Structure 1
């Protein structure tokens, strides 16, 4: 068992196509290294006001978000959605996606990936 309040967050560390930094925080809760999972990774994500989690895709894994707090703009393929707490977003393998927090509250979300580790992050912006 792992607790987000005990282990804290680390900054996202990816770089976009023009050298821009990915923004947001993550606390991994279930993964191959943490819990021996062989089929998924689950994290708690936090996007601070004004931050943007780069649009990207995973050619080797599907993903989901469950919004716990905040009202982020979710970029999914060619469409954008205004999400709210309680929304669940499924992101099929290979689909471009990202998150923008243009609000005043932290965006809090649970993130799941269909691989326990080592999935590819391919920036699309």
Structure 2
């Protein structure tokens, strides 16, 4: 069996980050950046999506939920506030945070340090984003 590394291996420096593009219930812009590394389109994945995320100082990733997918965060750098169904958790590097489907969640970076995260979804693409704020 031949392995096609061009479909299986992706690097964030090569792909680059893009700004989040969702809009909240009052028209506010979602803030943060994402670089997708594993997905249906990039890798042919049929069961998950993995990205690197960045929340810059002062940014807020809108509270939202996914009725059709669970998610996780692994904090690599920074100490953001993670919002989980109205409860705030001050995260730190090394935290793994599981977000069951339907759970409202968001991130606030109220520090001067860039927050870096590994973000995973239980679907390879096309999950629903429902804004909660």
Interval containing the TM-score (normalised by the shorter chain): over 0.9
State yes or no: 1:41 paired with 2:61: no
Equivalent residue, structure 2, for 1:114: 122
Tell me, which stretches of 5 or more residues in structure 1 are unaligned? Answer: none
State yes or no: 1:68 paired with 2:76: yes
**1:59-100: CA deviations, max 9, x gaps?**
000000000000000000121000000000000000000000
TM-score normalised by L of structure 1: 0.99
The Cα of 1:5 is off from its aligned counterpart by: 1.2
Q: State which of 57, 60, 67 in structure 2 corresponds to 1:52.
A: 60
**Distance in structure 1 (CA, Å) of the matches to 2:90 and 2:114:** 15
The Cα of 1:20 is off from its aligned counterpart by: 0.2
Q: Secondary structure at the match of 1:44?
A: strand
State yes or no: 1:31 paired with 2:39: yes
**Distance in structure 2 (CA, Å) of the matches to 1:32 and 1:7:** 16
Equivalent residue, structure 2, for 1:19: 27
Equivalent residue, structure 2, for 1:5: 13
Aligned residues: 125
Stretches (4+) displaced over 3 A: none
Q: Secondary structure at the match of 1:34?
A: helix
Tell me, which stretches of 5 or more residues in structure 2 are unaligned? Answer: 1-8
